[in-house]
Amino acid sequence: MKKTNILHFEFLVIGSGIAGLNFALEASKFGKVAIVTKKELMESNSNYAQGGIAAVLDKKDSFKKHLEDTLKAGCYLNDKNAVEIMVKEAPKQIKKLIKLGVAFNQLNNKLILTKEGGHSERRIANAKDTTGREIERALIFQVRHNKNIKTFESHLAIDLIVQNQICYGAIVLDKEKNTVDIFYSKAIILATGGSAQVYSRNCNPKIATGDGVAMAARAGAKIQDMEFIQFHPTALNIPGKPTFLISETVRGEGGILKNNKGVAFMNKYHELKDLAPRDIVSRAIFEEMKKNKIYLDLRHKGTEYIKNRFPYLYNELWWFGILMDKDLIPIAPAAHYTCGGVHTNSYGETNIKGLYAFGEVAHTGVHGANRLASNSLLECLVFGSRAVSSATRFVKNLSSIIYHLPTKNSKLKINKTVNPKIKAIKINLQTLMWKNVGIIRETKKLTEALKKLNNYHKNINKILKKGLNKEIIELQNLCQVAILITKAALARKKSIGAHYLLK
């Protein structure tokens, strides 16, 4: 066995999406920060965010309207206090990003705001259709120039080190050197993002395997609202091709959903038609797809407008033979966002001392039963910044890092040979989740899914005993999260928001 490296920091941030990077930059004023991330710094859900960030930035708009839209989309299952905090702190976060160098879409020094489903006003700050990439670029530039932040790419957190409800650090796999390292820290931050890879049809990058929720659950953290998986209505739908997202801002800027006869249908389902909240649009498409293929049509906006407003989407679709200004875009829903997660208060504190969570991994209560579009990047920033104050206070009150080694040796053994069963189990699990725990659910199918998932779990544990590699660690997490989603779906007996049960 190779030597285990032992490192220590004041703040250990797991994840380099917008939640993790924003926290790291602010916390670096108070101590040494490590960012551990399982691929390159840039690789995250954040990097693929298209639409933008919601904030009240126009005179016609108000905090009251943003609050009400968020609660309505969330079916009033939201924590109203948390939503109020988020909405009120939003404009400050946008100003901060501009100061950090984020190039939002502007004309004459005024932000060009866009619209998405469920919003009663234009309030989405954007960098056209690559908002996430632009924010990541600006934050990573700052991180790379910050002497108090050390970054560890290709480092996969395996488990948290927790004893007696106190977190001391994390066990981490260095994928390049093939070592298992111990990162001790006074404050440990979970910013590991979502888990849509649990589903066969999803529009998340491969990193979104729910590691944070699974690690936190194993450590005894409270997990909440996992049944609320948001399915985005419009992901590309060409058999065998990637299911990448076609932003809701395409509909915000006039795009219309049509069936294969060229007929718009959303008026049958909601007064806001194509801009109804996401859960409603996804279910409507799902219903219509029983009879028809479904398309998104933006052709009426003209070539010049489309190429200028959606340059990324125009180029991406071109590779698949689709010209956005001349062709209909075939779309279908795909798993997109995890509304639930590790439960926290409004300062990112979990029920485990020293462990903080925010961003998509967390459940702050802001989203309720269904997230309002473009509230996610906002949540990452607002609650990440608030967690800096609580984590810093905690760090200052601890006189020294406690070097505690409660790790079992089995967690430190690497197995370089990837068992071929891992791939098969993963595909079966993802397909099962799509079919049985997807957009429309039935108790019988949920029960059947849980039984199969428990069997997968047993098989995964057998493979785990032979040693660790990225593939088995991620599969273990996917399975654990799938079980959490299914159990939560079984426990909620009535349809609400993103959880829809057939009677």
Q: Who contacts 465 (Cβ-Cβ below 8 Å, separation ≥6)?
A: 410
Tokens 């809701």, residue located: 248
Stretch that binds ligand FAD, among 45-53, 57-65, 278-286, 482-490 (CB under 6 A): 45-53
Give phi and psi for 206, each to the nearest 5.
-60, -20
Burial 39-72 (b: 16+ CB within 10 A, else e): bebbbbbbbbbbbbbbbbbeeebeeebbbebbbb
Site string for ligand FAD, 124-143 (x = CB under 6 A): -------xx-----------
Stretch that binds ligand FAD, among 1-9, 10-18, 100-108, 390-398 (CB under 6 A): 10-18
Report in angstroms the alpha-carbon separations of 203 from 199, 237, 243, 333. 10, 11, 6, 9
Report in angstroms the alpha-carbon separations of 450 from 7, 82, 392, 421, 461. 39, 32, 41, 20, 16
Position 373 contacts ligand SIN (CB under 6 A): yes
Helix (H/G/I), strand (E/B), else coil: 402: coil
Give the nearer residue to ligand FAD in terms of CB position, either 330 or 341: 341
Position 37 contacts ligand FAD (CB under 6 A): yes
Position 203 contacts ligand FAD (CB under 6 A): yes
The nearest distance, CB 248 to ligand FAD, in angstroms, is 8
Q: Which does 18 bind (CB under 5 to 8 A by kind): ligand FAD, ligand SIN, none?
A: ligand FAD
Among 10, 11, 16, 296, binds ligand FAD (CB under 6 A): 16
DSSP run (H or E) holding 331: strand 329-338
Q: Which does 17 bind (CB under 5 to 8 A by kind): ligand SIN, ligand FAD, none?
A: ligand FAD
DSSP state for residue 237 in the 8-state scheme? -
The nearest distance, CB 428 to ligand FAD, in angstroms, is 22
Distance between CA atoms of residues 358 and 370, nearest Å: 17
Tokens 């903080």, residue located: 356
Position 374 contacts ligand SIN (CB under 6 A): yes
The nearest distance, CB 170 to ligand SIN, in angstroms, is 28
Q: Which does 169 bind (CB under 5 to 8 A by kind): ligand FAD, ligand SIN, none?
A: none
3-state DSSP of 333-381? EEEEEECCEEECCCCCECCCECEEECCCCEECCCCCCCCCCCCHHHHHH
The nearest distance, CB 249 to ligand SIN, in angstroms, is 5
Among 13, 33, 34, 49, binds ligand FAD (CB under 6 A): 49
Residue nearest to ligand FAD (CB): 17
Residue 198: CB atoms within 10 A of its CB come to 29
Position 105 contacts ligand SIN (CB under 6 A): no
Give the nearer residue to ligand FAD in terms of CB position, either 154 or 415: 154
Give the nearer residue to ligand SIN in terms of CB position, either 50 or 78: 50
Active-site residue set: 278
Stretch that binds ligand FAD, among 18-26, 326-334, 393-401, 402-410 (CB under 6 A): 18-26
The nearest distance, CB 51 to ligand FAD, in angstroms, is 3
Distance between CA atoms of residues 72 and 76, nearest Å: 6
Q: Which does 35 bind (CB under 5 to 8 A by kind): ligand SIN, ligand FAD, none?
A: none
The nearest distance, CB 253 to ligand SIN, in angstroms, is 11
Among residues 330, 323, 327, the alpha carbon closest in space to that of 237 is found at 330
Distance between CA atoms of residues 457 and 482, nearest Å: 10
Both tokens of 456, joined, read 């997968």
Which is it for strands 179-190 and 166-174: parallel, antiparallel or unpaired? antiparallel
Written as one string, the DSSP assignment of 102-135 is ----EETTEE--B--TT-SS--EE-STT-HHHHH
Stretch that binds ligand SIN, among 25-33, 191-199, 307-315, 369-377 (CB under 6 A): 369-377
Helix and strand tally (H, E) in the chain?
Answer: 13, 18
Please return the burial class of 99, using the count of CB atoms within 10 Å of its CB with bins 0-12, 13-18 and 19+: exposed
Give the nearer residue to ligand SIN in terms of CB position, either 47 or 50: 50
Among 50, 70, 195, 469, binds ligand FAD (CB under 6 A): 50
Among 44, 50, 185, 338, binds ligand SIN (CB under 6 A): 50
Among 30, 337, 356, 500, binds ligand FAD (CB under 6 A): 337
For ligand FAD (CB under 6 A), the number of binding residues is: 43
Position 380 contacts ligand FAD (CB under 6 A): yes
Position 193 contacts ligand FAD (CB under 6 A): yes
Q: Which of residues 235-294 bind ligand SIN (CB under 6 A)?
A: 247-249
Give the nearer residue to ligand FAD in terms of CB position, either 173 or 446: 173
CB 104 within 8 A of CB 125: yes
Written as one string, the DSSP assignment of 458-481 is HHHHHHHTT-B-HHHHHHHHHHHH
Residue ranges binding ligand SIN (CB under 6 A): 50-51, 247-249, 373-374, 376
- Name the site residues for ligand FAD (rule: CB under 6 A): 14-20, 36-39, 43-46, 48-53, 131-132, 156-157, 191-194, 203-204, 207, 211, 245, 337, 359-361, 374-377, 380
